[in-house]
Amino acid sequence: MNTHIENMWTTPVIVALMLCSIVSWASKHLTAQDTENDFVTFELVDWGTGVQAHSLNLGTVPLGTTKRARVLLQNRTGKPLRLVSAKVACSCTEAKVPKVTLENKETAKLEFSFSFPNHAKSLRESFQVDLYAEGATERTLLNFFANVSNVANFANNEIVRTYREKDATATFDIPVLLSDPKVLNKLRIEASPELSFLDKQLLSENGNVFVRCRFSDDAARNSDIFGRIQLFGPYVTDPSVVRCTLRRESRVSILPNKLTLAPSRDENRQFIASALIRIRSADSGQSNTTEDELRSVICDDPTGRKLNVDFNKVGAGLYRIRLSVDLNADKPLKEDRILSWNVSFGNASVSIQTPYTFAN
């Protein structure tokens, strides 16, 4: 009876022990296999063949992850080498270098771990490791590099947007480069105060990602407005700033953009230039012959020199301008200068600046 009871207890115990052994064996081997797959292996990096630097490609790595690499280092110096240490360039790199002595043509296994932070400085990250050994006349340099994914940034770092003077608001779309759609909901945008945005949205339409900004120019300024928009988030690469120039389209345009005052053939010491002024209607953008008649034009430069201005109408909203300046008291200036215009028409006036120079 007792023997029967002992057999009843012994059999389950043996089975349990066998199961534990199988699980333990499987765990060790499966874990080892998984760990092997996590490594990028570089075969036989030589030490002593005259090549002191090696470039090793880790492939494409998502931001916010860790990449491990294994390097098989072979002694090719013709004499024993004792590995001493590995010097890494930053705390994002860990190195495991066995302190062993390698005979000629023997190999050692080196292991490295590289941490990729959520925020990258560029689309390509690099890691430098210096290897030192006793008996070597030079060090061996390992340069690891990888392309990063899961990144976001602006497609351009500078944009210029022009909007009509009659518009109270204007909408601009700024393209964003995004390698992984999952990153979109982790991004945010900010604009500098100069831009006075009514709202800013980060949108994705038809596979395209962009920042949509609605701008209001309450001050109704005629000059360009400069500002910046910055992208923030865990997967944003540097630099993540786009410089914006918002240019109000003036109703008055002057052609050419740069004037050249040339010596007059008829009058001694006088320099002249011709230009065209076009005036657009505030409502339709086209010339209006009644509300936009040119009343006066005043031109001067930073020295206070005033230029004589004559104009005549050559078409609807189009005027030909003749500029002249008497230089009896001054010598012509060769360097470029800025000419300030005050153009009055209808019930409005516009100030414009254009460059000009003197011809020899």
Average pLDDT over residues 282-292: 54
Q: Is the pLDDT of residue 48 over 60?
A: yes
Average pLDDT over residues 90-111: 88
CATH code that applies to domain 39-149? 2.60.40.10
Phi-psi region of 14 (alpha: psi -120 to 50; beta: other; left: phi over 0): alpha
Residue 237: count of CB within 10 angstroms of its CB: 21
Domain 152-249 and domain 252-358, same fold? Reply is yes
Q: How far apart are CA 60 and CA 256, in angstroms?
A: 52
Report domain extents, the chain: 39-149, 152-249, 252-358
Average pLDDT over residues 90-96: 88
Superfamily of domain 252-358: Immunoglobulins (2.60.40.10)
Strand partners, 142: 54, 129
Q: Which residue has the tokens 């120079």?
A: 357
> Which tokens is 246 given?
């918002």
Which pLDDT band holds residue 68 (cuts at 50, 70, 90)? very high
pLDDT tens column, 57-66: 999 888 888 9
Residue 348: count of CB within 10 angstroms of its CB: 15
Q: How far apart are CA 230 and CA 212, in angstroms?
A: 13
Superfamily of domain 152-249: Cadherins (2.60.40.60)
Which pLDDT belongs to residue 13? 46
pLDDT tens column, 123-171: 788 899 988 888 777 788 889 999 888 788 888 888 887 766 556 567 7
Concatenated DSSP letters of 63-102: TT-EEEEEEEEEE-SSS-EEEEEEEESSTTEEEE----EE
pLDDT tens column, 29-46: 322 233 445 678 887 677
Phi then psi for 54, rounded to 5 degrees?
A: -130, 135
Which pLDDT belongs to residue 221? 53
Average pLDDT over residues 265-274: 76
* CA-based R_g, the chain, Å: 37
pLDDT tens column, 175-200: 888 877 778 888 888 888 777 676 77
Q: How many helical (H) and strand (E) elements, i.e. helices and strands, does the chain have?
A: 1, 25
Pairing type for strands 270-279 and 318-326 reads antiparallel
Q: Is the pLDDT of residue 2 over 50?
A: no
Mean pLDDT of the chain: 76
Which pLDDT belongs to residue 42? 83
Name all contacts of 260-266 with Cβ < 8 Å and 24+ positions apart.
Answer: 260/356, 260/357, 260/358, 260/359, 261/323, 261/325, 261/332, 261/356, 261/357, 261/358, 261/359, 262/358, 262/359, 263/359, 264/324
